[in-house]
Each structure stands twice: as C-alpha cells, then as structure tokens.
C-alpha cells in the first residue's frame, strides 16, 4: 500500500512567525484583544499543521497564517454566545486601530511589542514568564507545565488570568522613564527563564522543553531587531558565554563541577566566539550597564585556558563597576571571590564579613558557600567544613546541596590531600 | 517557588471541636481551595487518615515494620497544600487563611520544596 508523501511542517518557521502574526493582529485589533487573538493564532497554527504537509508550505507563510488567523478570529466572535461581549468586540473590530504605522516587512517589530505586552508590569513574574512562553515562544500549555514541573491546569489558569489582567488594565503601560525601559522587564523575564535552565528530559520529545534555548532564541530575536540596544546585546552575549559551559558544568551523574575543575576543552567555542563578537561590536563608546558588564566578566573566564591564567584583576575591576551600577549585594559577594584571587583570601573574607548581617542575612546560603570556600583557601579547613555543611542545609537546590556536602566530606577525609585551592564557579546571576 | 503547607493536627483537639467550628473549618478549606485555584497558585492538596491507620517502617539493614504512628509526638501531619507562589511571604500570607490557623491547638508548617516529579507535572 502506498501513502501520499507528507512533507514535514517547518516547525522553526512556524514558531518564528507565530509571535509576528499575533503581534500583527494585536496592532490591528488592539492589545486588549490578546485572548481572542491568541486563540486565533493557535487555531491558525493547527490549520498549518493539518494543511501544509498535504498542500505544501505556502509561498508566503506569514501572510497565510495572518489571513487564516483573521478568519478564525471573526469565526470566534460570530460563535460567541455572549451578546454583550459580541457587540463590544464588533465595535472594536469595525474600527480597528488602522491609524497605526503600516506593518513592517519582517514583522519583528510586532514581536517586540508582543513581548513587552506579555511582560507587562501589572503581571506577576510567573505570569509574565508563562505568557511569554505561550504567546511569543509558541509553546503549548502542556510544554510550559512540563518545563516548570507544574500541573497543566495551574499553568492554563495563570495564562488566562494574565490575559484578563492585561484586558483589565486596558493594555496601557505606565509612563516610561526612558525610551528603553519597557524592554527592561522583558530582558529580566528572559534572564529568569534562562537561569531556570533545567531541561526536562523525559524522552518524550513532544513535551521536552529547553528553557535555556528558548531564552536564547528570544534574546537573539530582540538583538536582531534592535542591534543598537546595549543591554539586549549584553544579555544575548551573557547567555551565550554562560551556556557555552553547559556540558562542562555537570558530570555524567549530574553532579556540579566548579569552574576551576571543568574540562575547558568541552566548552562550546562557537558560542564563545559569538558572545565575544557581540561584545566587541557593542562595548566601544557605551556606558557600562549590568548585562554588558556580566557578559564581559563571562568573556574573561571563557578566554582563559585555566583558573591560574584568568585575568582576575580585570574581573575585579568589572565587578566593582557592576556594584556601582546595580548596588546588588550578590555582586559584592562575587567580588569577594575576585578579591581573594587578586589580594588573597583574607581580603575576600573581610568583604564577606561586611555583608553578613547587613546587606545579606548572616545565614544566606550563597554567603555561607563563599565564606566556606574562602576559609578553605585560607587553610582553615575545620571552619570551612562546618560552614560548607551550614550552607548545604540552607540551599534549595539539590545538586548544590550535594556539591557543598561533598566539599565538606573532602575536607573531612585526612587521607585525601587533594584540597582544592581554586574558586567555585562564580554565579553570573544578580538575582541570587 | 513551591511551598508545602503542612497541617499539623492533634486528634484530641479535632475531637473537641464544636459542630459550628467543624463546619467553619470545612467551609474555610473550600473557600481556600477555590481562591488558590483561581489565582493559579494551587498545585494539589491531600488530607490524611487518622494516625491510628498509620504504619511505620524503621530503617536499617533489616527494616522494622510497626503498626501505628510515631509515638514520640501528639501532633501529626493531617494533610497538606502544595502551592506555587512568588515568594515565601506570599506562602505565609496564604497559609494564614487556612481555617486551621484560627483554631487553638492546631498548627501549620510552611516548608520550601527542593525537588519535584510526578504524573501531572
């Protein structure tokens, strides 16, 4: 028996076009129609999955999706049983926001507006993330639920509440304090998504979602659209330079490997080159801003063949700048590690002592982990062992707890002379 | 952030409740479930049978199986809510709305979750 040949649906293309199509609908019908428009785009994507394999991919896939989504939108409104809602919506559809600028050829600008809408400041962080993954990244509710280990019903409820909230606030934004500041929440949502990082690997490719790659994909999209935006470039570079170390960061059993013990030959050189290229293009003549500075620090680590050869003096200088622009105690904690590398462990410990009980709680797990590490470098092994154990009790990450306990065990075993004198992987994150 | 809100019960306190208190607890839990489901913060909840229905396995090379609960305490875990919230403060704020919080002799414990896996996740 023979079957007609079904061509594969160009999944990447669909996921790139989905936010452009949704953004296009919103520009025409108003951002308060996010719920209706998003459903229409989902329907259009479904139609593409059914029809394209049989009829072939249309010549202008974006126009096809836009036309299909608009038809579905109108069908949806017609079948809407609530008369009042129908009338309201009809009024809006009869007077679309046609006075807006014409659609840009690529549709990328529409995707940016959509991102800003999904990261609206009236939403909670978890709602911003869920809505972004669904409406911009084009993931299904099941995929998002799976990535965050949440029940599907919980995620579905969050997304529908988020859409309702955007409708309630009329999709209006508070007055911007700078032309770039609407992008700020977008960048921090993407960074949060990136740092969640855990890859759900059940072997079921239908649900497996790599949040890190999704975050990089969206950051790439923003950078392509706004190549002159310093922080957007900085965020993409930071993500690439951090993700380049992914394979080296854990062993085959999933245990954490600190920076100084990582096999640097497994770092992804293509990602490192791309990250450094972005920085070379972006840094000159620009004020130091948080993502750019963090990316510059990550680049210094990426370029060094080992911990000893790392330019710690430059890293220390960059952390000082980062401290000035963010005033974040987690940055100061990272600076303590750099201080120790440049001026010795006592200098690092003095800085940790100044933070403890002041800018950070005395029993903060990262603070304890850094203190233990610096005590170990200073040769106070008994104290280091005790503080590693205290840090292990405080962390909420199982791999980090296991890592800290294994550091403590290494110090406890007098038969093991191999006590490392190098720093643990300094966290790139500001959020602590 | 996922938090587990453990409801600690003392069977003697539960037995001493008035009809009205019992109804208030029932209604309070219904309202709490409805509210947290609507807000997208509820993951799951379970209430447990009486501690007398418990079996304990004492760990060791040869695990020991004993009928009945841990004998050392008069407070037992009566059930839990698993919530996913923005912050620890929010978890504490929500837990205070659980009707048990208003009953002398009952207690709630709020603990962060470190690892999750399961069928509906």
Tens digit of each residue's pLDDT (9 = 90 or more) over B5-45? 999 988 889 889 999 999 999 999 999 999 999 999 999 99
A348 neighbors A337 (Cβ within 8 angstroms): yes
Expressed in angstroms, the distance from the first to the final Cα of chain B is 15
Q: At CB < 8 Å, which residues of chain B contact A?
A: 37-44, 84, 86, 112, 114-118, 120-121
Q: Is A129 on the interface with B (CB under 8 A)?
A: no
Nearest CA in chain A to B114: A396
From B18, B104, B14, B101, select the one nearest B50 (Cα to Cα). Answer: B14
Contacts of A151 in chain B (CB under 8 A): 43-44, 120-121
Strand partners, A256: A250
The whole-angstrom distance between B50's CA and the closest CA on chain A is: 28
Tens digit of each residue's pLDDT (9 = 90 or more) over A289-347? 999 999 999 999 999 999 999 999 999 999 999 999 999 999 999 999 999 999 999 99
A116: tokens are 């800003």
Tens digit of each residue's pLDDT (9 = 90 or more) over A219-246? 999 999 999 999 999 999 999 999 999 8
Q: Is the pLDDT of residue A77 over 90?
A: no
Q: What is the mean pLDDT of chain A?
A: 85
A373 neighbors A337 (Cβ within 8 angstroms): yes
Q: Which residues of A102-130 are buried (b: 16+ CB within 10 A; e: fewer)?
A: ebeeebbbbbbbbbbbbbbeebbebbbbb
A154: nearest CB among B84, B86, B117: B84
Residues A86, A81: Cα–Cα separation, whole Å: 8
HEC profile of A156-214: HHHHHHHHHHHHHCCCCCCCCCCCCCCHHHHHHHHHHHHHHCCECCCCCCCCCCEHHHH
Q: Is the pLDDT of residue A379 over 60?
A: yes
Q: What band does B121 get if pLDDT is binned at 50, 70 and 90? A: low
Q: Do A396 and B37 touch (CB under 8 A)?
A: no
Residues A219, A223: Cα–Cα separation, whole Å: 6
The whole-angstrom distance between A368's CA and the closest CA on chain B is: 19
Residues A265, A208: Cα–Cα separation, whole Å: 28
A123 neighbors A165 (Cβ within 8 angstroms): yes
Residues B110, A45: Cα–Cα separation, whole Å: 43
Q: Is the pLDDT of residue B67 over 90?
A: no
Q: What band does A210 get if pLDDT is binned at 50, 70 and 90? A: confident
C-alpha B108: how far from its chain's center? 7
Q: What is the mean pLDDT of chain B?
A: 90
Residues A39, A28: Cα–Cα separation, whole Å: 16
Q: Indicate the burial class of A44 (C-beta count within 10 angstroms; 0-12, 13-18, 19 or more).
A: buried
Which parts of A327-430 fold into alpha helices (H)? 329-343, 345-355, 365-378, 381-394, 398-412
Contacts of B46 in chain A (CB under 8 A): none
A398: nearest CB among B39, B44, B114: B114
Q: Is the pLDDT of residue A99 over 70?
A: no
Residue A376 CA neighbour count, 13 Å, CB half: 28
Q: Do B43 and A151 touch (CB under 8 A)?
A: yes
Mean pLDDT of B68-84: 85
* pTM of the predicted structure, to 2 decimals: 0.83
Q: Do A151 and B116 touch (CB under 8 A)?
A: no
Q: What is the pLDDT of residue A340?
A: 97
Q: What is the pLDDT of residue A79?
A: 76
Is B112 strand, coil or helix? strand
Q: Do A154 and B121 touch (CB under 8 A)?
A: no
B51 neighbors B76 (Cβ within 8 angstroms): yes
Q: Name which of A5-9, A204-208, B8-12 the model is least confident about.
A: A204-208
Tens digit of each residue's pLDDT (9 = 90 or more) over B101-111? 999 999 999 99
Residues A276, A190: Cα–Cα separation, whole Å: 20
Residues A126, A44: Cα–Cα separation, whole Å: 27
Residue A402 CA neighbour count, 13 Å, CB half: 12
List, as one string, the DSSP characters of B18-68. Answer: -HHHHHHHHHHHHHHHHHHHHTT-EEEEEEPPPGGG-EEEE-SSS-EEEES
Q: Indicate the burial class of A420 (C-beta count within 10 angstroms; 0-12, 13-18, 19 or more).
A: middle
The whole-angstrom distance between B117's CA and the closest CA on chain A is: 7
């Amino acid at each position: 028996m023979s079957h007609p040949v079904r061509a594969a649906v160009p999944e990447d293309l669909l996921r790139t076009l989905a936010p452009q199509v949704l953004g296009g609908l919103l520009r025409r019908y108003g951002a308060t129609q996010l719920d209706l428009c998003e459903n229409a785009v989902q329907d259009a994507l479904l139609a593409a999955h059914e029809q394209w394999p049989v009829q072939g991919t249309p010549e202008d896939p974006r126009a096809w999706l836009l036309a299909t989504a608009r038809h579905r939108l109108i069908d949806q409104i017609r079948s809407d049983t609530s008369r009042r809602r129908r009338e309201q919506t009809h009024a809006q559809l009869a007077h679309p926001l046609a006075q807006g600028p014409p659609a840009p050829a690529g549709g990328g600008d529409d995707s940016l507006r959509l991102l800003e809408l999904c990261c609206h400041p009236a939403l909670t962080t978890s709602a911003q993330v869920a809505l972004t993954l669904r409406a911009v990244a084009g993931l299904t509710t099941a995929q998002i639920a799976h990535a965050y280990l949440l029940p599907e019903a919980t995620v579905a409820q969050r997304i529908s509440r988020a859409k309702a909230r955007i409708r309630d606030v009329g999709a209006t934004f508070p007055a911007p304090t700078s032309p770039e500041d609407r992008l700020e929440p977008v960048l921090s949502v993407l960074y949060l998504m990136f740092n969640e990082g855990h890859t759900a690997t059940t072997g079921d490719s239908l649900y497996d979602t790599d949040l890190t790659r999704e975050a990089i994909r969206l950051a790439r999209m923003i950078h392509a659209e706004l190549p002159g935006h310093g922080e957007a470039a900085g965020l993409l570079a930071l993500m690439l330079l951090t993700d380049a170390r992914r394979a080296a960061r854990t062993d085959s059993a999933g245990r954490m490997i600190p920076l100084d013990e990582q096999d640097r030959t497994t770092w992804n050189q293509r990602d490192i080159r791309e990250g450094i290229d972005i920085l070379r293009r972006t840094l000159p003549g620009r004020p130091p801003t948080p993502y750019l500075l963090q990316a510059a620090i990550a680049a210094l680590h990426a370029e060094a063949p080992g911990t000893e050869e790392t330019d710690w003096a430059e890293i220390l200088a960059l952390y000082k700048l980062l401290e000035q622009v963010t005033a974040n105690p987690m940055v100061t904690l990272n600076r303590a590690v750099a201080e120790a590398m440049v001026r010795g462990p006592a200098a690092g410990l003095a800085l940790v002592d100044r933070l403890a009980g002041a800018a950070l709680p005395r029993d903060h797990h990262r603070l304890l982990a850094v203190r233990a590490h610096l005590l170990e470098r200073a040769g106070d092994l008994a104290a280091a062992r005790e503080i590693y154990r205290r840090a292990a009790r405080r962390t909420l990450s199982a791999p980090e707890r296991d890592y800290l306990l294994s550091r403590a065990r290494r110090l406890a075993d007098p038969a093991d002379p191999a006590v490392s004198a190098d720093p643990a992987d300094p966290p790139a994150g500001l959020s602590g | 952030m996922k938090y587990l809100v453990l409801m600690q019960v003392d069977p003697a306190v539960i037995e001493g409740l008035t009809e009205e208190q019992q109804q208030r607890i029932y209604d309070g839990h219904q309202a709490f479930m409805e509210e947290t489901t609507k807000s997208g913060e509820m993951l799951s909840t379970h209430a447990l049978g009486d501690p007398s229905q418990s079996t304990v396995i004492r760990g060791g090379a040869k695990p020991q199986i004993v009928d009945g609960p841990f004998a050392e305490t008069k407070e037992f875990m009566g059930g839990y809510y698993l919530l996913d919230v923005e912050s620890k403060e929010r978890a504490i704020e929500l837990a205070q709305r659980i009707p048990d919080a208003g009953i002398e002799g009952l207690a709630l414990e709020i603990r962060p979750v470190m690892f999750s896996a399961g069928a509906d996740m």
